[in-house]
Amino acid sequence: MTKKQKLELTWIGKEKRPKLEPCILLEDTSLSYHAKQRHSENDIFDNILIHGDNLLALRALEGEYAGEVKCIFIDPPYNTGSAFQHYDDGIEHSIWLGLMRDRLEILKRLMANDGSIWITIDDNEAHYLKVLCDEVFGRKNFVANVVWRSSDASNNDSKRFSVDHNHIIVYSKSSDWLTKALPRTEEANVHYKNPDNDPRGPWFAGNLSSPKPRPNLRYKVKSPTGCLIGPPANGWRWKEETLQEMIGTKEIVFNTDGTKLMKKTYLSVQAGLSPSTLWGDIEDTGHNRQAKYELKKLFPEFQTSDLFGTPKPERLIKKILMISTNPGDLVLDSFAGSGTTGAVAHKMRRRWIMVEIGDHCHTHIVPRLKKVINGEDQGGISKAVQWKGGGGFRSSCAVNLKKEKII
């Protein structure tokens, strides 16, 4: 293969693309909803819920929101071959790839330069989706494949493996995108101690070795007891003058018998935690059964069988938004499902846009958002973020300007 050639994912009908006419959004004021009064100065009212085909809706959003969305979260059909009540989740593989490609290309244009996209998927299409996203977003913009424990109990009736996880494939708009740090946990802080009653508080013995072999950093250090301490294999992390200064300020100390150096890394100056690619703590990110329980509490009048089969828990969306956004940032979900993304974004004081084609947009999402706005929804993350209500949203539909009819 020459340098000019490149690998490409191909499928039957890849060259076929839908012809998209210009579209705009029209508000349906009968379904829009706003709090009667502000609950705080940070209330957000200009959120948008769109009922209709998400390809047309995304086309309509381009004119105003291109380059504006900081975080896109989508939970598309997994193409498992199952007959889902709310979606045709058994689309033939090639059709599924075309469906995703057409939408991902517009989603990329909607992303801010410092934006990211998070896609939940299972093993059935995850690896094809990864290659497709490489093509759409560029391999250099692949961020991570997060493995999320989506089940709280293994299936012991399985003849092979009990599948207890989903993938969350993450891409950025640009290769210099960075995650936001997560709050530190008690587990992360357990190694910090203060055995010498240092007034600067608990500390941890940090690394003194250079990341790469450096001959000029291979010098010996003399301790107060007269011991000569040799350098690590790669040499010290600092030049000799700097290291001596750090000994003077007691940021670097000797052990009791003067045979070893230790760098004090203080808990008080530590920032948050970098997110891991393994999300196995169900107390932290929830699981599918918990998400279904959250919906059942919101909609006791519906039979469990009428609720979504694999909804996503609010805790999962909360963690994604903590890593990728700040309050006031714009979040988009074009496969809204039961409306979890909008509900969580609203409680976390992010702006949001959701798109849903099914009738449950009106039977489930609108009532759910009204409960959030009224402060009645105290499940999910409400207590964790001290949600009391407020804000609002506009309900809209996409209009094809050429055909002049509502889609």
- Domains located in the chain, CATH noted: 23-183+272-406 (3.40.50.150), 186-269 (no CATH)
Q: Answer whether 240's CB lies under 8 Å from 219's CB.
A: yes
At 48, give phi and psi (nearest 5°).
-130, 130
The closest alpha carbon to 167, from 144, 143, 138, belongs to 144
Q: Answer whether 120's CB lies under 8 Å from 168's CB.
A: yes
Separation of alpha carbons 338 and 329, rounded Å: 22
pLDDT at 90: 65
pLDDT at 83: 46
Residues 6+ apart with CB under 8 A from 346: 44, 47, 352, 369, 372, 373, 391, 393
Q: In a 3-state reduction of DSSP, which class is residue 69?
A: strand
pLDDT at 404: 52
pLDDT at 406: 45
Half-sphere exposure of 10 (CA within 13 A, CB side): 5
- Burial-class residue 13 by CB neighbours within 10 Å (0-12, 13-18, 19+): exposed
| Per-residue exposure over 377-391, b if at least 16 CB sit within 10 Å of its own CB, e if not | bebbbbeeeebebbb
For the packed helices 93-110 and 126-137, what is the interaxial angle rounded to 10 degrees? 40
Q: Answer whether 288's CB lies under 8 Å from 150's CB.
A: yes
pLDDT at 405: 46
Q: Answer whether 288's CB lies under 8 Å from 311's CB.
A: yes
pLDDT at 407: 42
Output the CA torsion 107→113→114→119 (10° steps).
20
| pLDDT tens digit at each of 407 positions of the chain | 555 566 789 998 899 998 888 888 999 999 999 988 777 777 889 999 999 999 999 999 999 999 999 999 999 988 876 545 566 666 788 889 999 999 999 999 999 999 999 999 999 999 999 999 999 999 999 999 999 999 888 888 888 899 999 999 999 999 999 999 999 888 888 889 998 898 889 998 888 999 888 888 999 999 999 999 999 989 999 999 999 999 998 889 998 889 999 899 899 888 889 999 999 999 999 988 888 778 878 877 776 666 666 789 999 999 999 999 999 999 999 999 999 999 999 999 999 999 999 888 998 999 999 999 999 999 999 999 999 999 999 999 988 776 554 44
